[in-house]
A = this chain, B = another copy of it.
Amino acid sequence: MASTLPLSQRARLMPASPIRKLVPLGDAAKRRGIHVYHLNIGQPDIETPPEFMDAVRAYREKVIAYGHSQGLSVFIESLVRYYGGLGIPLAPKNVFVTTGGSEAITFAMMAVCEPGEEIIVFEPFYTNYNGFAIMGGIRLVPLETRAEDGYHLPSEETIEAAVTPRTRAILICNPNNPTGTVLRPDELAVIRRIALRHGLYVLSDEVYREFVYEGETRSVLSLEGLEQQAVVLDSLSKRYSLCGSRMGCIVSRNEELMGAFLRFGQARLCTATLEQIGSAALVDAGSKYFAPMIDEYRRRRDATYEELMKIPGVVCRKPSGAFYIMARLPVDDADAFAAWMLSDFHDGNETTMIAPGSGFYATPGRGKDEARLAYVLAAEECRRAIEILGRGIEAYPGRIGR
């Protein structure tokens, strides 16, 4: 009897993290004395600004108690000031604090879709959108973007053709994880028009908002006429190098939707008190850290891209944002190649760990010759990591175009 106990379909369909599943191979390489350059995960090496721990250490309440389900006022107000500084005037009622961007995505998907309903996404996309959709029984409808086009959006006609009576939202990530692409104003205008014509929500993951190296980007919150439809999914993880604090928020001017988030949030009571205390202090102090951080990441991007362009057969356009480069590699199977780099290859006792592209696609077969490179190391380390990658490709038995 025991062995026949069923798991639910969503538990069985739930994919293992494509980024994290190479971890055992990386650990094994390290045990063999090989230095591994981690370009596989978006964990910044930038120091968390001290305001966070200073505020946490100064916390003197005798009881670590439940906070409000919406979030602590002190944190919500710091976020309102932050968005105000971006030219986005908000009231506290427009901000709902979440346990990381992850919970923001989950709540937003669950609030706008029934099981079986659809959200349009652009492939490649942040791999965990898949997981949250599976938990909610929601169908992601992927539209392809391509390395040759710098992963910019398909045409207005192509996007519109994907809208069905079951479509409830378009989900964008801007600047984009995994591609680094920053949407142009004309692309945002396309999204806006389609959303208005078809009454769709625009769920916009803007966690990399500050990471823009050329030009600028706009939040969907500032698109005219989209006040009831624009929902921003946000996180402090990247901009404050605070991944381990799990602090994020959902922002919307749609009061009915904010009411739904509050009810979802009441079920899980609240988010962590100390993390909110630290985050509030950081948001108020943090903007001074952005400019030097962006300069540093621009150097890393330039170094990574420059080295990448030296590898014969690699296809990519220089991305303008986030801290990722998605590229097509001249290999038969990037999953096998990424594993091989850890198991069978080293260059002077060093190797490079990358995130294979397939995990960022919902469509089977797509992304098999692509990889995401997170330039979260110092520029010279990125340069060396890509040099090793090139040597790996050169030596790889499954190399294409030899």
Contact = CB atoms under 8 A, between A and B. Distances in A.
A242 interface: yes
Nearest to A136: B135
A190 interface: no
Given A8-B113, A201-B5, A267 B44 contact: no
B246 A272 contact: yes
Which residue, A12, A17, A132, A274, has most C-beta atoms of chain B within 10 A? A274
A131 B271 CA distance: 17
Interface stretch (A97-105, A296-304, A313-321): A97-105
Could you say how many copies of this chain the assembly holds?
2
Interface stretch (A28-36, A47-55, A363-371, A379-387): A47-55
Interface stretch (A57-65, A82-90, A140-148, A177-185): A57-65
A396 to B, nearest CB: 27
A127 B9 CA distance: 26
B64 A52 contact: yes
Interface in A113-143: 113-115, 117, 128, 130-132, 135-137
A242 B245 CA distance: 17
Interface of A: 1-12, 14-17, 20, 41, 43-48, 52-53, 56-57, 59, 62-67, 69, 99-100, 102-103, 106, 110-115, 117, 128, 130-132, 135-137, 168, 196, 199, 201, 227-229, 241-246, 254, 256-257, 260, 262-264, 266-275, 278
10 contacts: A1-B196, A7-B112, A8-B111, A8-B117, A8-B168, A11-B264, A14-B267, A64-B243, A65-B244, A246-B272
